Amino acid sequence: MARIAGIDLPRNKRGEIGLTYIFGIGRSSSRKILANAGVDMNTKVGEWDDEQLNAIRKLITDEFRVEGELRSEVQLNIKRLMDIGCYRGQRIVRVFPCAVSVPRTIRVPAKAIARPWRTRKRTPSNTQPTQNHSWQNQPKSSKSVWSVWMPPVRCMFTPRLITSLFR
């Protein structure tokens, strides 16, 4: 099995496709590498001899940033955008897409959905309302007296029914 830049290339793929398994090398880059190394792009990776493999390996290490080096550079660029506080950096911090021309208002990022909106944990001490609050004298149709977080329920339970269950 051919190993280039710490990645085992699949033996049964064509050379043009096999090189794309390396992070940082796409189809056009793999064509250029194979053309400069003098290897036919239709030959399978398993059919490469040691001379061809060494030529490809030398071209990749000399001319391209791949794998770990490229990943660290991308992370540094993202950190730089966040540090200078530009628009794209602020979008990255808020986990919103930053490279779209018009932000979609309907879509909500997955991390925003996963964030709990609870302000405090539910314990027996904070489930029962205290006796000296002004909102206790309000009619029952007003806001709920419970300050604990309840997950959204998509069934026949209404907010009034849920609050009556905890009384």
Residue 20 has which token pair? 């794309």
Render pLDDT for 77-114 as a digit per residue (tens, 0 to 9).
989 998 998 888 888 888 777 776 665 565 655 555 55
64-97 exposure pattern, b = at least 16 Cβ within 10 A, e = fewer = bebbeebeeeeeeeeeebeeeeeeebebbeeebe
Predicted pLDDT at 20: 92
Predicted pLDDT at 102: 62
Please tell me the distance from the alpha carbon of residue 10 to that of residue 136, in angstroms, as a whole number.
Answer: 70
Q: Is the dihedral of CA 57, 59, 61, 62 positive or negative?
A: positive
In the numeric block, the tokens 């907010």 are attached to: 159
Predicted pLDDT at 95: 78
Please tell me the distance from the alpha carbon of residue 145 to that of residue 136, in angstroms, as a whole number.
Answer: 8
When the candidates are 1.10.4190.10, 1.10.8.50, 3.90.550.10, 1.20.120.530, the CATH number that belongs to 3-67 is: 1.10.8.50
Domain residue spans of the chain: 3-67
pLDDT score of 146 more than 60: no
pLDDT score of 72 more than 70: yes
Residues pairing with 14 in the sheet: 44
Predicted pLDDT at 45: 92
Of 23, 125, 120, the closest CA to residue 71 belongs to 23
Mean pLDDT score of the chain:
77
Q: Do you know the residue count of the chain?
A: 167
Average pLDDT in the 50-76 region?
Answer: 92
Is pTM beyond 0.75? Reply is no
φ/ψ of 112, rounded to 5, equals -70, -35
pLDDT band at residue 36 using 50, 70 and 90 as cut-offs: very high
Percentage of the chain exceeding pLDDT 90: 40
Q: Which residues contact 92 (CB under 8 A, 6 or more apart)?
A: 78, 81, 82, 98
106 DSSP assignment: S
Render pLDDT for 106-141 as a digit per residue (tens, 0 to 9).
565 555 555 555 555 556 555 555 555 555 555 555
